[in-house]
Amino acid sequence: MTATSSNPATNLFDPHELLAEARLGVLATIKASGIPQLSPVTPFYDRSAGVIYVSMTEGRAKTVNLRRDPRAALEVTSPDGWAWATAEGPVTLTGPGTDPHGPEVEALVDYYRSAAGEHPDWDEYRSVMVSDRRVLMKLTVERVYGEKLR
């Protein structure tokens, strides 16, 4: 993984930190035409593992794009809008699952626990993950860059 900032005045800025703090971002995937597809997502960055997780629905544009071309970039901004960070890398998709206690749904449970803690009703969560045909995206971070403008 590399982390760079083009502004020498912000050499203390750590784009990994911003990625870890962000709970809203824009995921870029590649359409069949080669044009980027941008989707708002709620990412979770496991900095120690060097991966970003996003829960998504089977059949949506971003999921279809990633099944065809498993590369993505995620961009996040600071709450004040003056800093940004981008992570790029290859993607693997897990799911959708058909068994509420199968490995695909277990991966989503692990993701939720890491990102948000305990769910008030795990049986309901598991059922919804199956009925909504949820898929877990895992982006292996190969490159990180960003900048703090102020």
Peptide bond into 120 cis (omega under 30): no
| pLDDT attached to residue 73 | 99
| pLDDT attached to residue 150 | 87
Please, which residues bridge with residue 29 across strands?
A: 37
Mean pLDDT by 10 residues, the chain (150 residues): 53 91 96 97 95 97 98 97 97 96 96 92 96 98 96
Domain that holds residue 56: 3-148
**How far lies 112's CA from each of 63, 71, 78, 81, 108, in Å?**
19, 23, 23, 27, 6
| pLDDT attached to residue 6 | 57
Q: CATH no. for residue 44? A: 2.30.110.10
| pLDDT attached to residue 1 | 53
How far is residue 41's CA from residue 148's CA, in Å, rounded to a whole number?
22
| pLDDT attached to residue 11 | 60
Count of domains observed in the chain? 1
Q: What are the tokens at 84?
A: 């940004």
DSSP H helical segments within the chain, as ranges?
15-21, 61-68, 103-116, 122-131
